[in-house]
Amino acid sequence: MLTNLQQQPADALLALIKLHNADPRPDKIDLGVGVYRTGQGETPVFGAIKAAERKLVEEQDSKAYLGPEGDMGFVEALMPYVFGKDSPDMGGRIEGMQAPGGTGSLRLALALARRANVKRIIVGVPSWPNHAQICADLGLEVVEFNHARADGTVDMDALRAALAGAGAEDAILLHGCCHNPTGIDYSPGDWDEIAGLVSEAKILPIIDLAYQGLGMGMDEDAYGLRRVLVAVPEALVCYSCDKNFGLYRDRVGAFYVMAAEPADLPRIMSNAHALARANWSQPPDHGAAAVRLVLEDETLTAQWLDELDQMRERMRQVRARLAAAGKAGTVDLAPMGGQNGLFSIVPLSKEQVLEMREKHGIYMAGSGRINIAGLTAGNIDKFIAAVAAVAA
Ligand code: PMP
């Protein structure tokens, strides 16, 4: 039976990590994998999370099952940050549940959409590759539109055309902020227009918010999500705490449904709970419990927000340095100054990306995507010089 299985291609980024680890050059630079790094190249546990974990060890008196919805204290404590303090549940129309990371939340959103008879998912490309992989696994057709133009601005015409062509069985998947892989986000004005267009198209929006706080700020990064939610009757929101609480391997995410009427929520959530049961039964507890303890404690919340500010500020400084360099050979680094989050794309060919790796020991994804946080005061000049050399 198992001989029927075909070999699958290796995950390109994981293969890149192996190559980087095996490279003996002391000044090699890893810009591949998507985790935040400090100016010293480290990905530390947040101080606020460490403190919450200590509390958890002391105070947690049981590890008995919680149910498919996970830690509802965590899910609810996050809501004012996601949906705004004024109306965190939109008058009883929003309910959530815990999920294993942003990925688990997306799996749940897309599976629920399919159950509700969605057939096609409209996605701007390039996108995070797992969006298309999950859709393919669920038998959902992906309808692509161009996310950004070569000059580093969003392609609103392509989005308008995609929404004009949308039908009754379509949903649109939008990155809430810090677009992965381009770093090119919609402006508040763009979001105002998108909210109107999605509402006119009468299709289900699915908003993926995996980097809140890493772009412009916690409220600023939620602008688009909140703007769309006030314009439409129904929406799904996929949230990850893995970046903004530094919890990557602990798999911390939340999934939220906004229904047309509060009375619709029990029926919808019963489907989401059934899907969770069939997929992972219950989400892992530890990371979400730590986030809940941070959000329940004013001092820890302030510490967490301060740590998040420092991360965002460091990435802004790296971006400002790249933008100040302007042209590196034929590559214009200036647009990166206005982009957001962990990622940007350096417009290099596959051959040039290979040359960056082989000649200069600089590891980046084949698409030219770089992790901005992989750059430090100690290596950024080398990076800019290498781009100038390969794109001479
Ligand atoms: N959405 C996007 C756009 C992402 O980039 C990622 C992670 N890289 C996720 C979702 C999933 O995050 P998690 O690690 O929490 O599953």
Any idea where the domains of the chain sit in the sequence? 10-44+312-390, 65-296
This complex has an ipTM of 0.99
pTM of the model: 0.97
Return the percentage of the chain with pLDDT > 90, whole number: 97
* 192 CA → ligand 1 middle, Å: 25
CATH no. of 65-296: 3.40.640.10
pLDDT band of residue 13 (cuts 50, 70, 90) is confident
Burial category of 8 from C-beta neighbours within 10 Å (exposed 0-12, middle 13-18, buried 19 and up): exposed
Mean pLDDT of 309-324: 98
Residue ranges lining ligand 1, Cβ < 6 Å: 34, 101-103, 128, 175, 180, 208, 210, 240, 242, 253
| pLDDT reading at 45 higher than 90 | yes
What pLDDT is stored for residue 350 in this prediction? Answer: 95
| pLDDT reading at 12 higher than 90 | no
* 9 CA → ligand 1 middle, Å: 20
Atom 6 in ligand 1: which residue has the minimum CA distance?
Answer: 210
Going by C-beta distance under 8 Å and a sequence separation of 6 or more, which residues neighbour residue 357? Answer: 19, 363, 364
| pLDDT reading at 356 higher than 90 | yes
Index of the ligand 1 atom closest to the CA of residue 101: 15
What pLDDT is stored for residue 74 in this prediction? Answer: 98
pLDDT band of residue 266 (cuts 50, 70, 90) is very high
What pLDDT is stored for residue 189 in this prediction? Answer: 98
| pLDDT reading at 105 higher than 90 | yes
Give exposure, 49-65, as e/b (b: 16+ Cβ within 10 Å).
bebbbebbeeeeeeeee
What pLDDT is stored for residue 81 in this prediction? Answer: 98
Nearest to 46 by CA among 277, 304, 263: 304
* 327 CA → ligand 1 middle, Å: 31
CATH superfamily, domain 10-44+312-390, is Aspartate Aminotransferase, domain 1 (3.90.1150.10)
Element at 52 (helix H, strand E): helix 47-59
pLDDT band of residue 11 (cuts 50, 70, 90) is confident
pLDDT band of residue 301 (cuts 50, 70, 90) is very high
